[in-house]
């Protein structure tokens, strides 16, 4: 049973920085609007108990990430685990409302997005507190209010032009909390910030687990940024403790893990094993996965990647990773979920739409042919064409778990084969990285975490690719086709076209793209600049 500290003082009626609101808990952000509905004494007590039980292990695992990075920097390469969990075990069947997941739409937790996504016709909607949300205090708190209203079926939004409310058959709700590496500075316990993961998860499950169950659904999660099966084990411990504290049956909380780090790709079977009764499947988080290749092998010139646009899903390391993911999932009875179609249709340019939709259809047809059970899109207009491609292969069946892909044989070298035939670092690719990185960070610092840039929905993951590739190209002396080297000076001159040098986004961009030491996540120094 989860140890729960006593509540000694009620939440104050107004904002008071540093004021203790429960025993050992301090709320350092304003309690405005409907904040008190989610930041109740009982909910904060629940989050505090999770923090007390699991923050020590979280910090230990973050330290383990640093040690693994040191080993990689010294020349070590990842390998499959020898102590893997063999046998014919399988995860439990998916609950009824998630047996068919052909198209899932993702987006931030703002009110309009939640309504439109739930009404999009997608199988599920992943409400994202992580890459698609700038974690301002107001976004975090209002996001929890919005989710509670969505679960209750009462969510609506009145604007000058339109009234938004739920339709009769909304998509199944899933929630992605922040990763283990992120903190919530507006909540402190004994002087330490609480894990953003535990805040997002704790508030959502505390308020919504039972209402969801009463409506025939359940508390469903997406877990981001895992780098090892030990980090999945921590989540499993959190789930079990939360179920005990809330009086839920074991396995009520179900989760899909985003395999968006190259180290996690070597431990996919073990990640499912650690989650066991809580596991739903794995997702191919393609953008973060590319970022992880740059980040984990940043000292190695042989891992320098060409332009982001040239790193397609068919290059060797991406092909090996996705095929292994399908094989691993289906062997264990878990869903294999495909990657994001980030295209945002244009109302002004039908030709752009036609070309982009053809690429989306090709991508989704390939995923379906490879055995994926579902895929991701970023815009409601992509739900129908994506579903058509999945239906063409899967038909009326809810999934293709029976396709075991025993033909797939992947070795460690295959996951590390970063050859890109014909790949090059080009001036256009560099300009795109600078432009996307600066524009995204400018938006993120203003409180918006999902931004349309050049008809693509960009989030923190794609911004990470942009700035990390620049760091990699500068570090290893990459040259453009005309022989010009990629230098800090060249990057700054391109940045001058976008933002003034003293702009907050410009300073942050240069910190994470041009610093001597690689910054693991741009959202960490960025968070210090948010309210």
Active site residues: 176, 459
- Is residue 116 within 8 Å of residue 171, measured between CB atoms? no
Residue 316 Cα distances to 99, 306, 326, 412, angstroms: 31, 14, 16, 12
What sign does the CA torsion over 143, 144, 150, 153 have?
Answer: negative
- Cβ atoms of 414 and 316 closer than 8 Å: yes
The whole-angstrom separation of Cα 299 and Cα 290 is 16
**DSSP H or E stretch at residue 55:** helix 41-73
**Measured between alpha carbons, how far apart are the two ends of the chain, in Å?**
36
Q: Name the DSSP class of 378.
A: S
Q: Which long-range contacts (CB under 8 A, 24 or more apart) does 311-315 make?
A: 311/420, 311/423, 313/286, 313/339, 313/363, 313/366, 314/366, 315/418, 315/419, 315/420, 315/421
Q: Of 214, 246, 219, nearest to 47 (Cα)? A: 246
Tokens of 206: 């505390």
Number of Cβ within 10 Å of residue 10's Cβ equals 11
**Pair 127, 173: CB distance under 8 Å:** yes
Both tokens of residue 165?
């409310």
Give the C-alpha separation, 202 to 282, whole Å.
22
Beta bridge partners of 243: none
DSSP secondary structure of 145-200: HHHHHHHHT--EEE-SS-EEE--SSPPEEEEEPPPTT-EEEEEEETTEEEEHHHHH
Closest CA to 32 of 129, 140, 171, 105: 140
């Amino acid at each position: 049973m989860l140890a729960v500290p006593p509540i000694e003082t009620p939440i104050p009626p107004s904002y008071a920085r540093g004021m203790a609101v429960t025993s050992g808990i301090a709320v350092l952000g304003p309690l405005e609007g409907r904040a008190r509905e989610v930041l109740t004494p009982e909910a904060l007590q629940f989050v505090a108990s999770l923090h007390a039980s699991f923050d020590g292990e979280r910090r230990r695992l973050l330290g383990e990430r640093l040690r693994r990075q040191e080993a990689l920097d010294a020349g070590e390469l990842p390998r499959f685990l020898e102590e893997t969990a063999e046998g014919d075990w399988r995860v439990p069947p998916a609950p009824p409302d998630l047996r068919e997941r052909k198209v899932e739409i993702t987006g931030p937790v703002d009110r309009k997005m939640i309504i439109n996504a739930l009404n999009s016709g997608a199988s599920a909607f992943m409400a994202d507190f992580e890459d698609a949300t700038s974690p301002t205090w107001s976004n975090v708190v209002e996001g929890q209010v919005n989710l509670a209203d969505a679960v209750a079926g009462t969510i609506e939004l009145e604007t000058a032009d339109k009234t938004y409310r739920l339709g009769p058959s909304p998509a199944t709700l899933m929630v992605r909390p922040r990763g283990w590496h992120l903190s919530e500075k507006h909540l402190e316990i004994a002087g330490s910030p609480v894990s953003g993961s535990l805040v997002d998860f704790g508030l959502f499950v505390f308020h919504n687990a039972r209402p969801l169950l009463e409506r025939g659904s359940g508390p469903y999660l997406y877990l981001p940024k895992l780098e090892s099966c030990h980090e999945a084990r921590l989540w499993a411990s959190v789930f079990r403790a939360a179920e005990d504290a809330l009086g839920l049956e074991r396995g009520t909380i179900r989760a899909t893990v985003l395999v968006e780090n190259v180290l996690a790709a070597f431990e996919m079977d073990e990640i499912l094993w650690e989650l066991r009764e809580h596991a739903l499947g794995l997702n191919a988080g393609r953008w973060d996965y590319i970022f992880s290749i740059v980040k984990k092998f940043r000292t190695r010139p042989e891992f320098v990647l060409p332009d982001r646009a040239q790193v397609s899903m068919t290059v060797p390391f991406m092909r090996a990773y996705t095929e292994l993911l399908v094989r691993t999932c289906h062997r264990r009875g878990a869903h294999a979920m495909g990657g994001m179609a980030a295209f945002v249709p244009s109302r002004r340019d039908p030709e752009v739409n036609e070309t982009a939709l053809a690429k989306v259809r090709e991508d989704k047809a390939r995923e379906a042919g490879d055995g994926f059970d579902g895929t991701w899109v970023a815009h409601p207009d992509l739900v129908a064409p994506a579903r058509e491609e999945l239906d063409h292969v899967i038909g009326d069946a809810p999934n293709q778990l029976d396709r075991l892909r025993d033909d797939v044989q992947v070795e460690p070298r295959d996951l590390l084969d970063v050859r890109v035939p014909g790949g090059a670092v080009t001036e256009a690719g560099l300009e795109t990285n600078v432009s996307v990185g600066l524009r995204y960070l400018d938006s993120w610092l203003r409180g918006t975490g999902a931004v349309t840039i050049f008809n693509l929905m960009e989030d923190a993951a794609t911004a990470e690719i942009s700035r990390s590739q620049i760091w990699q190209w500068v570090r290893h002396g990459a040259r453009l086709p005309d022989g010009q080297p990629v230098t800090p000076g060249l990057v700054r001159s391109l940045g001058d076209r976008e933002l003034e040098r003293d702009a907050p986004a410009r300073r942050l961009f240069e910190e994470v793209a041009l610093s001597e030491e690689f910054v693991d996540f741009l959202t960490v120094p960025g968070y210090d600049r948010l309210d």
